[in-house]
Amino acid sequence: MAESVERLQQRVQELERELAQERSRRVLGGGDGAGGRRIEKMSPEVDSNPKNRLMALKRMGIVSDYEKIRTFAVAIVGVGGVGSVTAEMLTRCGIGKLLLFDYDKVELANMNRLFFQPHQAGLSKVQAAEHTLRNINPDVLFEVHNYNITTVENFQHFMDRISNGGLEEGKPVDLVLSCVDNFEARMTINTACNELGQTWMESGVSENAVSGHIQLIIPGESACFACAPPLVVAANIDEKTLKREGVCAASLPTTMGVVAGILVQNVLKFLLKFGTVSFYLGYNAMQDFFPTMSMKPNPQCDDRNCRKQQEEYKRKEAALPKQDVIQEEEEIIHEDNEWARRCCTC
Ligand SMILES: [Zn+2]
């Protein structure tokens, strides 16, 4: 009796191993296993479609056309604690294309964060992320760049991919997300986006790991990163939110997860036009305080392209017939409420 139980246990173990091997073969091969299956069409009707729960947003009246998510391209600069989780969320949401920029390698010292796994240590972050994300959702297009965007030649290439790396080659991306951890890289993204008139969102987590923020920047319309160093002071956020190179910072997967979550939530609202898109949303974990605000651009901004974008925005606003402006605002408030809460705190 005891012998046959042991034999059965061995057999169960063998079968489990075979099953695991078969499953991983299917996923890696992008075959017909559940993990690697491609979805031809998003449908709110089919139960076996893993996107069904996303499509239910449409049925419930939250989003008017969820399937549109597949038409957008988003660039993520920095694939660390916030950027990697942001990329995973957008991949699972079914974004059309992701462009990832980072020059770091996966390190065992960062395993207190989410997404990367110990066996990926030593690989470039963008390469490891692409492999994982492709397995999660093979419908997403990926373009990865393993370089530092702040050097002169890489900056030109970065600008070129932002302008031409959209879902359709030659068209700009729909949104740039800054998930970097230093001031220089933020200023580089700011410079590029001001020059291109490219909308972007900035994110950050403080060095002490207990606060963070996200910020939407529409060149000419809202304060750019160079316009508003006082933003940090005004929001009463620790200045250390803006990390300095070479400083050994604390990090918590919780804070990074929260910041990635509010960032992607803002991205979804912005792209799919639902709810109120935040221009600035802070997170203070010590008090569970979420400050929001928005700021107009600074007419004396140091960035000449920011000033140019401001002039262009003013010209466009002035060209709108007055009545149309009122109608549009009413429409926005009730329907696709994007900028309606654009208050002025300056
Ligand atoms: Zn500015």
CATH number at residue 284: 3.40.50.720
Instruction: Return the beta strands (E) in 136-261 as ranges.
Output: 141-145, 175-178, 200-205, 211-217
Q: Is residue 200 part of a domain?
A: yes
Averaged confidence pLDDT in the chain: 84
Q: Rounded to an integer, what distance in angstroms lies between the CA atom of residue 153 and that of residue 176?
A: 19
Top-confidence residue, 328 or 60? 60
What per-residue confidence (pLDDT) applies to 5?
Answer: 80
Q: Is residue 203 part of a domain?
A: yes
pLDDT computed for residue 10 by the predictor: 80
Cα separations in angstroms, 206 against 143, 191, 273, 303? 29, 23, 29, 25
pLDDT of residue 13: 76
Decide if 34 is inside a domain.
no
Query: How far, in Å, from the CA of 118 to the mean position of ligand 1?
Result: 41
Q: What is the DSSP letter of 110?
A: G
Burial of 158 from C-beta contacts in 10 A (0-12 / 13-18 / 19+): buried
**Ligand 1 mean position to 231 CA, how many Å?**
12
In a domain, 303, yes or no: no
| Residue 91 CA, distance from chain mean position | 10
pLDDT-derived band at 20 (thresholds 50, 70, 90) equals: low
Residue 209 lies in a domain: yes
Q: What confidence score (pLDDT) does residue 180 get? A: 95
| Cα 197 to ligand 1 centre (Å) | 12
Reduce the DSSP state of residue 158 to 3 states and report it: helix
Range of the domain at 210: 72-293
pTM of the shown model: 0.78
CA 215 / ligand 1 centre spacing (Å)? 14
297 Cα: distance to centroid of ligand 1 (angstroms): 6
Q: How confident is the model at residue 37 (pLDDT cuts 50, 70, 90)?
A: low
Query: For the chain, what percent of residues have pLDDT higher than 90?
Result: 64
In a domain, 24, yes or no: no
- On the question of pLDDT at 106 being above 80, the answer is yes
Number of domains present in the structure of the chain = 1
The CA 79 to ligand 1 mean position distance, Å, reads 25
Give per-residue pLDDT as tens, 224-257.
999 976 445 444 444 444 555 555 688 999 999 9
The DSSP bridge partners found for residue 216 are 201
User: Which residue's entry shows tokens 């959702």?
Assistant: 137
| For range 157-172, the mean pLDDT | 97
Q: Is 336 inside a domain boundary?
A: no
List the one residue out of 128, 43, 136 whose CA is nearest residue 79: 128
How far, rounded to the nearest angstrom, does the alpha carbon of residue 315 sit from its chain's CA centroid? 31
> Beta-carbon neighbour count of residue 12 at 10 Å?
10
Instruction: Specify whether 248 is catalytic.
Output: yes
- CA-CA distance, 106 to 98, in Å (whole number)? 19
Q: Given this model, what pLDDT does residue 297 score?
A: 95
C-alpha of residue 194 to centroid of ligand 1, in Å: 8
The DSSP code sequence of 204-223 is: EE-TTSSEEEEEEE-TTTS-
Task: Determine the distance separating the centroid of ligand 1 and the alpha carbon of 213, expressed in angstroms.
Answer: 19
pLDDT score of 15 = 79
Selecting among 248, 306, 344, 346, the annotated active-site residue is 248
Sign of CA dihedral 228, 231, 234, 238: negative
At 101 the three-state DSSP class reads: strand
Beta bridge partners of 282: 213
* Three-state SS at 149: coil
Given a cut of 60, is residue 324 above it in pLDDT? no
- Per-residue model confidence (pLDDT) at position 60: 85
What pLDDT is attached to residue 178? 98
Lowest average pLDDT, out of 29-38, 145-154, 264-273, goes to 29-38
Judge whether 121 lies within some domain: yes
Question: Ligand 1 centre from 307 Cα, in Å?
Answer: 7
Q: Are strands 200-205 and 211-217 parallel, antiparallel or unpaired?
A: antiparallel
Indicate whether 177 pLDDT > 50.
yes
Note the pLDDT of residue 210: 94
pLDDT for 279 equals: 96
